[in-house]
Amino acid sequence: MNELVASHTRVLHVLAGAFFGTTVIYGLLVLLVPPPEAPVVMQTHPLLWIFGAITVANLLTIMPVYRAMLEKPRRVYAVDGRPEPLLAAHRAAHLVAFARLEAVALLGLVLFFITGRGDWFWYFNGLALVGMLVLWPLREKVEALLQASPGTAAQTA
């Protein structure tokens, strides 16, 4: 079981590192590519509010979606005790969560190229990076997922 947990955690680290790395690359892109001389659209504040609303909705629903993706596999694991389907669902839930956080960074990148406002990009990118650090896969979390009894499975993230 320890080897399975270690292997699963290693795969999650590679995936999370790739998402984190691309978000850092977006930051380098903003630092190296000069902003547009004139904004593509003149009324940029409504665009910020629209992207901000999309970001807030995205961030507020990451954990509920993550938990919903694990709910059924946890119940199945409580009955049959096979960890592989639960770990596959856990990997998929992490992929979805990190992809949604990456979308926040991409919204900031789009704002930068449309408006030329680097500060807006850094707000969005910072939120994405903090979210990725909060959701960073830890061996202890994977072990807790596999050791959770049916009554506590819904509480373990």
Non-local (6+) Cβ contacts of 16 within 8 A are 94, 98, 132, 135, 136, 137
Reported as half-sphere exposure (CB side, CA atoms, 13 A), residue 98 has a value of 23
Orientation angle between helical segments 45-80 and 118-134, nearest 10 degrees: 10
Residue with tokens 């409504």: 46
**One-letter identity of residue 129:** L
Pick from 103, 105, 90: nearest CA to 135 = 90
What's the pLDDT tens digit per position in 61-112? 999 999 999 999 999 998 988 899 999 999 999 999 999 999 999 999 999 9
For the beta carbon of residue 85, count every other beta carbon within 10 angstroms: 13
What's the pLDDT tens digit per position in 102-149? 999 999 999 998 888 889 999 999 999 999 999 999 999 999 899 874
What's the pLDDT tens digit per position in 4-57? 999 999 999 999 999 999 999 999 999 998 877 777 777 778 888 999 999 999
